């Protein structure tokens, strides 16, 4: 089986490490990729083809893990060359997912929940051919939600609306605590109700968000695009906060 990647950031790189099987061959391309992505590919030692068109055509499973804004364009450009499963792992809206479904034959809508670099993250999937990916359960926890592409898109955006809005509040509170030289005390007092691992998890969230504020802001924009009925006050505030970085 050949598994191809369009986009080779943290998600793709760790999936290639987790799916440790002699029966799976990984391919990608460095076409138009950044220096950091090319470095990731070189370190992973997977097969590199000249173009993504060739990657798409050769793959039994093509994984799109790029960015929310690029997801639809990637599907339009390469989906028509995929005869196998097209697995989209981008944090995109239901509207974008349904648009992608118009351009690929076998869309599976997916989301990785939990740290991708952990030993056993959870892959949630939906779509008519989602059950064909249950073999991946040998390498990570796989849960099929339904045969309806888009169900996972809604769930992952709901999760993101909670986690990213909460993280924006954490950043704001932490910054105020720093100004008062009370950051350690801040984590200590909140840990009394939120648990002993609150500081560790919070700092991880804050660090990850501040390393990728543009990417996180794009995900919030997808949430607003999908769900906005004039009530997303907190999500819009979180987006405003992230746009400051």
User: pLDDT tens-digit profile of 148-170?
Assistant: 999 999 998 899 899 999 999 99
CATH homologous superfamily of 2-146 equals NAD(P)-binding Rossmann-like Domain (3.40.50.720)
CATH 3.40.50.720 range(s) for the chain read 2-146
Are 126 and 132 in contact by the 8 Å Cβ rule? The answer is no
Largest CA distance in the chain: 58
- What was the pLDDT predicted at 51? 96
Does position 128 have pLDDT exceeding 90, yes or no?
yes
Please state the φ and ψ torsions of residue 144, each to the nearest 5 degrees: -85, 120
Q: What is the pLDDT of residue 21?
A: 92
What is the SS3 assignment for 148?
Answer: coil
What is the structure's pLDDT at 93?
Answer: 86
Q: Comparing 10 with 61, which gets the higher pLDDT?
A: 61
Cβ–Cβ < 8 Å for 90, 67: yes
What is the average pLDDT value for the chain, to the nearest integer? 93
Cα angle value 64/202/145 (rounded, 5°): 40
The CA distances from residue 26 to 53, 101, 205, 236, in Å, are 15, 24, 30, 39
Does the 154-242 domain belong in CATH 1.10.1040.10? yes
What are the tens digits of pLDDT across the range 38-82?
888 888 889 999 999 999 999 999 999 998 889 999 999 999 999
pLDDT band at 116 (very low <50, low <70, confident <90, very high): confident
Give the list of residues 6+ apart from residue 168 with CB closer than 8 angstroms, or none: 209, 237, 238, 241, 242
Instruction: Please report the pLDDT score of residue 228 as a whole number.
Output: 72
| DSSP calls for 61-90 | EEEE-S-TTTHHHHHHHHGGG-SSEEEE-S
pLDDT in the model for residue 114: 78
Task: Considering the chain, tell me which residue range(s) the CATH 1.10.1040.10 domain(s) occupy.
Answer: 154-242
Distance from C-alpha of 191 to C-alpha of 194, rounded to nearest angstrom: 5
pLDDT number for residue 216: 92
pLDDT the model gives residue 118: 77
- Most confident range, picked from 131-135, 156-160, 227-231: 131-135
Element (H, E) at 149: none
- The per-residue pLDDT for range 165-193, each reduced to its tens digit, is 999 999 999 999 999 999 999 999 999 99
Q: What is the pLDDT of residue 43?
A: 87
Distance CA 146, CA 243 (A): 35
């Amino acid at each position: 089986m050949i598994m191809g990647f369009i986009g080779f950031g943290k998600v793709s790189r760790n999936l290639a490490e987790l799916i440790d099987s002699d029966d799976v061959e990984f391919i990608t391309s460095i076409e138009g990729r950044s220096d950091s992505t090319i470095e990731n590919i070189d370190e992973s030692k997977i097969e590199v083809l000249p173009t993504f068109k060739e990657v798409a055509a050769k793959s039994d499973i093509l994984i799109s893990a790029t960015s929310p804004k690029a997801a639809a364009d990637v599907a339009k450009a390469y989906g028509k060359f995929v005869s196998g499963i097209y697995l989209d792992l981008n944090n995109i809206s239901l509207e974008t997912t349904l648009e992608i479904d118009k351009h690929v034959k076998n869309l599976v809508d997916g989301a990785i929940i939990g740290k991708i670099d952990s030993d056993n993250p959870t892959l949630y999937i939906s779509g008519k051919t989602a059950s064909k990916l249950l073999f991946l359960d040998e390498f990570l926890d796989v849960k099929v939600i339904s045969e309806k592409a888009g169900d996972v898109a809604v769930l992952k955006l709901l999760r993101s609306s909670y986690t990213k809005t909460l993280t924006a509040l954490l950043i704001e509170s932490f910054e105020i605590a720093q100004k008062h030289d009370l950051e350690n005390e801040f984590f200590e007092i909140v840990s009394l109700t939120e648990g002993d691992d609150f500081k560790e998890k919070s700092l991880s969230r804050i660090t990850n968000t501040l390393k990728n504020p543009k990417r996180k802001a794009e995900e919030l924009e997808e949430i607003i695009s999908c769900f906005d009925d004039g009530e997303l006050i907190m999500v819009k505030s979180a987006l405003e906060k992230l746009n400051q970085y």
